[in-house]
Amino acid sequence: MLRQFKADLHVHTCLSPCTDLDMSPKRILAAAVKKKIDILGICDHNSSENSLAIMNAAKGMDIRVIPGMEVTSQEEVHVIALFGDVANALKLQEHVYSRLPGENDEEAFGMQVIVNEKEEVLGFNEKLLVGATTIPLDDILRLIHGFDGVSIASHIDREAFSILGQLGFIPENLELDALEISPRISFAEAEKKYSTQYPITCSSDAHYPDDIGKGFTCFLLKEGTVAEIRKALRDEDGRKVIH
């Protein structure tokens, strides 16, 4: 039977250097419970190293955690990648790491903390996660779909690091599954402003615990999985984006 799921598909952890260090597994999940989130997408910048920690911390809870990543293309376009299992997220991460130049400067950008589900610090990522990869946008989308993922263009209503802000338009025939808006604009406003072939979702892009759930999308699904979300984005088998 289909039912409504409330999803925030774009949440960062303490691995993203621009994020508050309070974005630990327990605090993220506590905030999600408070906001009655059913599906949580973990999407750190150019990495999925903390996804498994959140997934493990959520065991026994009524929250489905989806491993993902916010990849920065060569054109400095941010793209959300969501996967049905963490193994495929890590396969994309391997490609991203091989094409991600530079090293992090903690004083300039902040710490990149790798944790486990018990919130123990396992280490610090030394890659320049806030930087751009050398992978063109088209290739990133092909990689995401090659690993059976869903691709969503991040925060298209923002000038910085969005597909519209960086390119000025959405090229035809991109392998995008959806466009994401931030909480700063309503679905009604977005549908008027962005005449597009792609479905529109909203997520928080949370960098602080209090921001989780400020932006969300409601889906009509059988269960809270990437496969079901993909069907909803395609309006298949009764699955829908219901905002």
Q: In this predicted structure, what is the pLDDT of residue 196?
A: 77
Mean pLDDT of the chain: 96
Which helix (H) or strand (E) segment holds residue 219: the answer is strand 217-221
Q: In this predicted structure, what is the pLDDT of residue 114?
A: 98
The model's pLDDT over 16-68, given as tens digits with 9 standing for 90+, comes to 999 989 999 999 999 999 999 999 999 999 999 999 999 999 999 999 999 99
Amino acid identity, position 107: E
CA angle at 217 for the pair 211 and 222, rounded to the nearest 5°: 130
d(CA 230, CA 55): 20
Residue 194 pLDDT > 90: no
Give the side-chain half-sphere CA count within 13 A for 1.
Answer: 1
Mapping DSSP onto H, E and C, the string for 55-108 reads HHHCCCCCCEEEEEEEEECCCCCEEEEECCCHHHHHHHHHHHHHCCCCECCHHH
How much is the average pLDDT of 117-123?
Answer: 96
Decide if 131 contacts 105 (C-beta within 8 A): no
* Band of pLDDT at residue 69, cut at 50, 70 and 90: very high
SS3 content of the chain, % helix, strand, coil (to 5): 30, 25, 50
What percentage of residues in the chain have a pLDDT greater than 70? Answer: 100
d(CA 49, CA 115): 8
Q: Where would I find the H helices in the chain?
A: 25-34, 51-57, 86-98, 106-109, 137-146, 163-167, 187-193, 226-233
* Band of pLDDT at residue 110, cut at 50, 70 and 90: very high
Q: In this predicted structure, what is the pLDDT of residue 173?
A: 85
Residue 195 pLDDT > 80: no
d(CA 173, CA 83): 22
Instruction: Tell whether the torsion through CA atoms of 151, 218, 47 and 56 is positive or negative.
Output: negative
Which domains does the chain possess? 3-241 (3.20.20.140)
